[in-house]
């Protein structure tokens, strides 16, 4: 692979190494090594544990949008995993990592990448392979409708317009271009669209150098970075709702595989997922120019790995040795291949690495061979901030000049938010392995109890996807609550009968098992009621077994109950594209589905889960705040 023109966008993460590795221990006792990542890594786990019989590598999965913040909060509170994964290779997280500079595997990685992620001449990370991003398109639909593969950005827009007029490759609203509207992906999309005509040219390269040295700003330079998505929104090809903070991520794979979208901006892993779920033929296009410049493909590091500095203490010598051996193994072609199979990554930073299989889609192969690969590797905190401001523009909540001015301020001074002490809690309440989406937890109980107490409702429910981080023993600050409950959905109180309550709970347990092994966020943490459900399996989903009030008495079939829920569940953002988590039985807002006669809107509040939790902690500041599991949610065996 001949990479001639790789440029980096701001100092950030990239790294990996290679060396031969042999099993070195005959001890039967296994050393457990923990690591948090955005998905399971079965091939990497298998490689590590077959190479080293004395190591048990345990991967904890966590939502991609919150993993960096949660990892740093855990490290700060003494709960960090042994191996630390992060998309942010600079900043405060370095204070918690061991110096890897003297380890042999460091030399296995491209020196340019290691230099960019070093601090004071020391290396704290190795880089995992990168993902290629571009335009995924349905090749079969183009051919069936006599549409040519676009070669410029303008041709891409024209083809999307033609497809919309033909009513092919679009959803019920006529949208035919999709993107996962999380802040990080939106930021990558905005920057990527500027590569052929700016970042890949001398002016863009010079601007980036000035930006790194604090001599350049976004305002007046990237004012056009959202022109393409804004035009697609105006033409009805792109739905702006996916960029709102209180909606689910767009189901890109599902819409593309079902023929309800013609083009998507995403990565190679998504392309492979779509191919596995459709009989149509799909390929990927690079980022296209509107000014006659060559197209570029885009690569983004999936993560960086470091070792928790706590392992450098004498009592953790065995764990430190195990982590170093794992890093040595990851830094070999075998380790890279295992990770790529798990994550769908497509580009390794190892020196002289050649993959065992062809991972570049045909549509971007020429860009890669000719060296037109742009490596976006920017600090994740900045990426999220920039993406958040872009999302605000795309959903009509801000103007581009206002958004870029706030980005410049952030680049110059960082976050200007002030934080206050809210109160204290008496023990850790941990969110891990999506436990708030599968079972009763202490933190789920506390938030649910807080909602019922503050709203005065008979029953309160909190969807597990709204709870994103742990609370730790001791002082609780406002930024902790921001991490725990980040979404701005408002709490409402509805009046329902017993049948609706059972329907809600039945929906709650329908997504405990999904294709990616990550449970859906609809699982309900509750207060005021108790329920049990059957253990799910691949061929037999969970079923509700029993529902009672919190005192164990049955629901009264002739009575109505007030229930505190979010406006999101009640259809405020519609039920299209996986929004509302399937709670159509309590719809009071959306015209997408019929409204139930057995649901009455009692009160709309200005509370969010975050503000309710703050009020709850303040109201109980004169006492010890205790939350524990009490059996209000139980899972029973299917065959019991």
The top-level CATH class assigned to 422-636 is: alpha beta
Q: Give the DSSP letter of residue 242.
A: G
On whether the CB atoms of residues 374 and 6 are closer than 8 A, the answer is yes
In angstroms, rounded to a whole number, what is the distance separating the alpha carbons of residues 459 and 494? 10
Which stretch of 103-107, 509-513, 585-589 has the lowest confidence by average pLDDT?
A: 509-513
Q: Give the DSSP letter of residue 147.
A: P
pLDDT band, residue 377 (cuts 50/70/90): low
Extended beta strands in 151-230, E state: 177-179
Q: Is the pLDDT of residue 577 over 90?
A: no
pLDDT band, residue 23 (cuts 50/70/90): very low
User: Higher confidence at residue 272 or residue 226?
Assistant: 226
Non-local CB neighbours of 127 within 8 Å, separated by 6+ positions: 13, 14, 15, 16, 89, 109, 113, 117, 301, 303, 304, 305, 349
Per-residue pLDDT reduced to its tens digit, 87-133: 766 667 888 999 999 999 999 998 878 887 788 889 999 999 988 99
What is the DSSP code string of 390-442?
Answer: HHHHHTTSS-HHHHHHHHHHHHHH-------EEEEESS-B---TTGGGTS--H
Taking residues 360-374, report their average pLDDT. Answer: 89
Taking residues 138-167, report their average pLDDT. Answer: 96
| 177-179/263-267 β-pairing | parallel
On whether the CB atoms of residues 339 and 127 are closer than 8 A, the answer is no
Q: Please name the residue that has the structure tokens 């079923």.
A: 543
On whether the CB atoms of residues 581 and 510 are closer than 8 A, the answer is no
Per-residue pLDDT reduced to its tens digit, 203-229: 998 998 888 778 889 999 999 999 999
Per-residue pLDDT reduced to its tens digit, 524-553: 999 999 999 999 887 788 999 999 999 999
Non-local CB neighbours of 505 within 8 Å, separated by 6+ positions: 524, 531, 533, 544, 547
Non-local CB neighbours of 393 within 8 Å, separated by 6+ positions: 226, 230, 399, 400, 403
Domain boundaries, the chain: 31-129+302-352, 131-300+379-413, 422-636
User: Higher confidence at residue 459 or residue 2?
Assistant: 459
In the chain, the percentage of residues whose pLDDT exceeds 90 is: 63
**Quick one: 507 exposed, middle or buried, by C-beta within 10 A (0-12, 13-18, 19+)?**
buried
What is the DSSP code string of 5-63?
Answer: ---BSSS----------------SSPEEEEEEESS--HHHHHHHHHH-TTEEEEEEE--
In angstroms, rounded to a whole number, what is the distance separating the alpha carbons of residues 67 and 59? 13
Phi/psi at 336 (5° precision): -65, -45
Non-local CB neighbours of 470 within 8 Å, separated by 6+ positions: 70, 73, 74, 77, 79, 428, 429, 430, 431, 432, 443, 484
Strands laid side by side in the 304-307 sheet: 55-61, 31-37, 83-86, 304-307, 126-127
Q: Of the candidates 232, 227, 236, 366, which has an alpha carbon nearest to the alpha carbon of residue 291?
A: 227
Q: Is the pLDDT of residue 13 over 70?
A: no
pLDDT of res. 5? 38
Q: Of the candidates 483, 481, 568, which has an alpha carbon nearest to the alpha carbon of residue 63?
A: 483
On whether the CB atoms of residues 613 and 447 are closer than 8 A, the answer is yes
Q: Is the pLDDT of residue 234 over 70?
A: yes
Domains 131-300+379-413 and 422-636 share a fold: no
Tokens of 437: 């989406």
In angstroms, rounded to a whole number, what is the distance separating the alpha carbons of residues 16 and 128? 6
Tokens of 534: 């059957």
Taking residues 244-259, report their average pLDDT. Answer: 86
State which H helix or E strand residue 253 sits in: helix 252-257
State which H helix or E strand residue 501 sits in: helix 498-508
| Cβ neighbour number for residue 49 with a 10 Å cutoff | 14
In the chain, the percentage of residues whose pLDDT exceeds 70 is: 91
Tokens of 156: 């891409």
Q: Please name the residue that has the structure tokens 């669209």.
A: 193
Q: Is the pLDDT of residue 335 over 50?
A: yes
Could you name the CATH architecture of 131-300+379-413?
Answer: 3-Layer(aba) Sandwich (3.40)
User: Higher confidence at residue 62 or residue 279?
Assistant: 279
Q: Is the pLDDT of residue 8 over 50?
A: no
The reported pTM is: 0.79
Q: Is the pLDDT of residue 265 over 60?
A: yes
Taking residues 228-250, report their average pLDDT. Answer: 89
Q: Tell me the β-bridge partners of 60.
A: 36
Strands laid side by side in the 459-463 sheet: 524-527, 459-463, 560-566, 491-497, 599-604
On whether the CB atoms of residues 253 and 270 are closer than 8 A, the answer is yes
From residue 299, alpha-carbon distances to 81, 114, 136 in Å are: 27, 17, 15
pLDDT band, residue 283 (cuts 50/70/90): very high
Q: Is the pLDDT of residue 312 over 50?
A: yes
The top-level CATH class assigned to 31-129+302-352 is: alpha beta
In angstroms, rounded to a whole number, what is the distance separating the alpha carbons of residues 311 and 320? 5
């Amino acid at each position: 692979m001949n990479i001639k023109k790789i440029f980096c966008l701001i100092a950030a993460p990239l790294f990996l190494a290679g060396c031969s590795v042999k099993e070195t221990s005959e001890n039967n006792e296994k050393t457990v090594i923990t690591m948090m990542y955005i998905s399971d890594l079965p091939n990497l786990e298998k490689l590590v544990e077959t190479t080293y019989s004395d190591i048990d590598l345990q991967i904890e999965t966590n939502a991609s949008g919150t993993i960096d913040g949660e990892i740093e909060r855990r490290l700060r509170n003494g709960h960090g995993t042994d191996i630390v994964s992060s998309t942010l290779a600079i900043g405060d997280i370095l204070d918690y990592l061991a110096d890897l500079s003297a380890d042999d595997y460091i030399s296995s990685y491209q020196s340019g990448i290691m230099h960019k992620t070093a601090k004071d001449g020391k290396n704290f990370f190795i880089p995992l392979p990168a993902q290629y991003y571009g335009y995924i398109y349905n090749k079969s639909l183009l051919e069936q409708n006599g549409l040519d593969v676009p070669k410029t950005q303008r041709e891409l827009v024209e083809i999307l317009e033609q497809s919309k007029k033909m009513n092919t490759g679009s959803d019920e609203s006529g949208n035919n271009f999709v993107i996962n509207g999380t802040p990080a992906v939106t930021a990558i999309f905005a920057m990527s669209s500027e590569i052929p005509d700016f970042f890949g040219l001398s002016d863009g390269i010079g601007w980036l150098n000035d930006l790194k040295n604090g001599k350049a700003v976004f305002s007046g330079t990237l004012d056009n970075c959202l022109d393409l998505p804004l035009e697609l929104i105006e033409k009805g090809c792109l739905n702006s709702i996916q960029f709102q903070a209180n909606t689910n991520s767009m189901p890109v794979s599902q819409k593309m595989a079902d023929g309800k979208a013609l083009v998507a901006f995403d990565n190679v892993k998504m392309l492979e997922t779509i191919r596995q779920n459709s009989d149509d033929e799909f390929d990927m296009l690079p980022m296209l120019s509107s000014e006659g410049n060559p197209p570029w493909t885009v690569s983004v590091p999936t993560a960086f790995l470091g070792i928790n500095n706590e392992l450098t203490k004498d009592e953790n010598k065995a764990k430190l040795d195990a982590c170093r051996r794992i890093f040595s193994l990851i830094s070999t072609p075998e380790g890279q291949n295992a990770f790529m199979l798990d994550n769908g990554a497509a580009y390794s930073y190892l020196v002289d690495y050649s993959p065992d299989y062809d991972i570049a889609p045909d549509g971007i192969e020429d860009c890669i061979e000719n060296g037109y690969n742009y490596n976006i590797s920017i600090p994740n905190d900045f990426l999220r901030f920039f993406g958040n401001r872009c999302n605000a523009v795309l959903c009509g909540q801000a103007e581009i000049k206002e958004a870029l001015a706030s980005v410049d301020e952030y680049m110059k001074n960082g976050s200007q938010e002030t934080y206050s002490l809210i109160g204290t809690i008496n023990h850790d309440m941990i969110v891990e392995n999506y436990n708030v989406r599968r079972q009763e937890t202490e933190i789920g109980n506390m938030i649910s109890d807080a909602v019922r107490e503050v709203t005065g409702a008979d029953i309160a429910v909190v969807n597990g996807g709204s709870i994103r981080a742990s609370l730790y023993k001791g002082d609780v600050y406002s930024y902790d609550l921001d991490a725990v409950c980040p979404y701005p959905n408002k709490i409402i109180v509805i009046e329902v009968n017993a049948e609706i309550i059972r329907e809600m709970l039945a929906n709650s347990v329908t997504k405990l098992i999904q294709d990616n092994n990550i449970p859906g966020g609809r699982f309900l943490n509750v207060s005021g009621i108790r329920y049990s459900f059957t253990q799910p399996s691949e061929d037999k989903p969970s079923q509700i077994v029993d529902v009672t009030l919190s005192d164990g008495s049955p629901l009264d079939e002739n009575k109505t109950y007030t229930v505190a829920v979010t406006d999101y569940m009640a259809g405020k953002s519609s039920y299209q594209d996986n929004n509302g988590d399937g709670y159509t039985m309590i719809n009071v807002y959306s015209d997408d589905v019929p409204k139930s006669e057995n649901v009455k809107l009692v009160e709309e509040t200005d509370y969010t889960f975050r503000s309710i939790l703050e009020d709850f902690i303040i109201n109980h500041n004169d006492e010890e705040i205790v939350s524990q599991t009490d059996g209000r949610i139980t899972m029973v065996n299917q065959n019991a």
